[in-house]
Structure formats: structure tokens, C-alpha cells
Amino acid sequence: MTSKKQAHQECELILGNSNKRFSGVTSTMLQNFEFQKDMMNTLIMGGHHVKDKKYITTFWQLVFLCRGFNNGKWRIYHARRNNEVVQGLLLKYIFRLKIKIVFTSTAQREHSRFTRWLITRCDGLLSTCDAAASYLKRQPDNIIAHGIRTDIYKPATEKNKHSIKSKYGIQTPLTCGIFGRVRPQKGVHLFIDACIHSFKKNVSTTALIVGAIKPEDEKFVRDLKQKISDHNLSSRIIFLGEQPFDALPELFSIMDLVCALSNKEGFGLTVLEAMSSQAAVLATRAGAWPEIIRDDIDGNLVDVNDQEFINNMFEVLINNPEKLKKMGANGVKRVATSYQTHIESQRLCEYFLTLTEDNVDM
């Protein structure tokens, strides 16, 4: 059995994992890891949400176990958050580990001065879409789009769909939903207003709101629930709260339409997870969504915070099940050809290897 020290000595890739809260960044890292560990000897710095403990390392284990890296070869340290870059800089410049730091930037906003400085200290810079890359002062070395696991996010059979819907108390032919933390930035209020607007005439659809509710957003949610109740729709617009990560593919698999109505996004995996599960998508022009969604083919795009247009488009879609079905089928093909995790992982590893081509024995 490989010892802890040997595993550290042989590692080629270190993945930052600094956030205790599960997020899209965490999901992306973990899904890529499942493929990267077979392409490069990989360790994850931080045990949050990592099932297989043998791949976990810590900052101090790297300091004490990796100072004598075999042959003095360069290793890659991949960071996706500012604090992970800081940790990498400490490892490299204070503790003298022979690592090359790569940062992936997904934010679509002007970076702080501190973030811009951190980026100048990185050996490699990646982005995930053209929109995010446009905010960088330094041209990224590559743009590598996120992917998702199509073996996990996949359509349910009709029999399974019926069983899953029964489990969640859904009795209508169609199901729509919005996923992610329940807060104004995610456009949950826009989704609920669209449901209220359309459900007065449409009795064939149930809506699910799936995501964590933080204390600071509890009043926002209470007001939404009261609004739903005032329209006698509490049985058809349902808050499921935060669900286990393993339950999300099941929920996506019963969706006919998924709405992603954020006013800003880094990348936005929700749309890919929905499309891979054969759901049509209605999304704002945020994150990478305008680059992913082919308007009126896989779904439809709307302007941020345009409630009237969202209402109208939502109503058109849920009243046209055949259109939803066709869009869903198109989305499955779109993801399969361009947005699978193994494609992203392979492109990442190929890029990492270009940074270690000067590896030499010492």
C-alpha cells in the first residue's frame, strides 16, 4: 500500500479545496478530480466533501512531506479561490516547494486590486468563458469551459420519473424548477412571479425551488411564501430547501424546464446539469449561459431582471410540452459533444503538462 509520504512524493497535481460550504466551485473541482486522478497523480488540499480520504492532504503535510519532492520536478497547484492562491504562494515562496500555481478565474466583474496582484504572481491563468476572460487585465493562457458528468446527470426513464415525482408529491404532468441558493441574486423572485403569472391558467405544472436558505435571506423567503399563499399556489410552488448533492441528479431528471435567472454568474453549472438531464432551459444572459445555450434550440435567453419577458417566455414554454421535449433532446446532444467533464479534465491536464515540460532530474 502506498504510504502517505510516497503519495506526496509522487503527486503531480494539487487541487485547492478551501471552502467548507459546498458550492459550484467545489462541485467543479470534485467532478474533474474523478478524471484527473487517472491522468495525473493528484492530491486535494482540504478534506471538505471528499469521500476518498487517501487523496486528501493539508497545507502542513505539503510543507513537511513535499520539501524533498522526488527528482525536484515541478508540480502543479490549481487554485480557484483567492485564499487558495495565497496558500499556494506561501508554499512556493516561503516554504520553497517546487510548484507552479495556476488560477482559474470565472468571475464576471472587475477584480479587486488584491485579486489582480495575486494573478500577477501565478504561473498560469485560465478562464472558463469569453465573458469572464474579458474582465481579466492579463490575457488568460487558455479558455477551458466547465463540463458535467453526463453519466450522473441524465434523463430519467418514464417509469423512474413517475416514481421520483411521487416521492416529492408531484402530481402534475410537467415539472419546472430553479436550483441554487435561495436569494435575490439568483432570481428566485423572478421565477416565482413567472409561475404565479402562468399558473392561473396552466394547471399542468408544478414548480420546485431547490437550494439552501441562509439566515440573511429568511425574510426574502417568507415574503415569497406569503405571496404564493395569497395566490393559493402553495401546493404547486414548493420550496424543497437544500438537498444532498447526491439527490440533485434525481431532481434534475424529472425536470421539463429549468430556469436560471441570476443577475450575475461566474459560469453557472445549473444550465449544463439541466440540459444533460433533458430539460429545456430558460436563462438570463449571465455567466457562460449565452455561450452555451442556442436560443430557441436548447432553450431561451432573457435579459437580466426583465420580469415581463421572463413571464411571457415562461408561459409560452410550459404551454408547449412538445417544444420543451425537443429542446431537452437538443440540450442532451449539446452537452454530450461539448461540455462533458472528461473533456474539461483532459484539456486541463494537457495544459498543466505544458507548464512542467522543463522537468529535469536533480
pLDDT at 1: 53
Residue 2: pLDDT over 70: no
| CATH code, domain with 277 | 3.40.50.2000
Residue 275: pLDDT over 90: yes
**Do 328 and 251 sit in the same domain of this protein?**
yes
Indicate the residue type of 313. M
**Do 167 and 107 sit in the same domain of this protein?**
no
pLDDT tens readout for residues 175-199: 999 999 999 999 999 999 999 999 9
Burial 345-360 (b: 16+ CB within 10 A, else e): bbbbbebbeebeeeee
**Half-sphere exposure in the Cβ direction for 317 (13 Å, CA):** 33
Identify which of 253, 188, 171, 199 has the alpha carbon closest to the alpha carbon of residue 224.
Answer: 188
Choice among 14-18, 28-32, 242-246, 325-329 with the minimum mean pLDDT = 242-246
| 28: in domain | yes
* Residue span of the structural domain in which 350 resides: 4-147+341-355
CB 305 within 8 A of CB 249: no
| 81: in domain | yes
**Do 167 and 302 sit in the same domain of this protein?**
yes
- The pLDDT confidence band at residue 75, using thresholds 50, 70 and 90, is very high
**Do 167 and 312 sit in the same domain of this protein?**
yes
| 153: in domain | no
Give me the phi and psi of 358, to 5 degrees please: -90, 15
Report which secondary-structure segment, H or E, holds 50. none
C-alpha–C-alpha distance, residues 166 and 144, integer Å: 39
C-alpha–C-alpha distance, residues 41 and 50, integer Å: 16
- The pLDDT confidence band at residue 64, using thresholds 50, 70 and 90, is confident
- The total number of structural domains that make up the chain: 2
pLDDT at 108: 83
Indicate the residue type of 198. S
**Do 167 and 294 sit in the same domain of this protein?**
yes
Cell 508554499 belongs to 91
**Do 120 and 238 sit in the same domain of this protein?**
no
Across residues 81-90, what is the average pLDDT? 97
| 134: in domain | yes
Residue 355: pLDDT over 90: yes
What percent of the chain has a predicted confidence (pLDDT) above 70? 97
| 184: in domain | yes
**Do 139 and 232 sit in the same domain of this protein?**
no
pLDDT tens readout for residues 130-175: 989 999 999 999 999 999 999 999 999 988 999 999 999 999 999 9
**Do 244 and 197 sit in the same domain of this protein?**
yes
Please state, rounded to an integer, the average pLDDT across all residues of the chain.
Answer: 92
**Do 209 and 130 sit in the same domain of this protein?**
no
**Do 188 and 326 sit in the same domain of this protein?**
yes
**Do 322 and 347 sit in the same domain of this protein?**
no
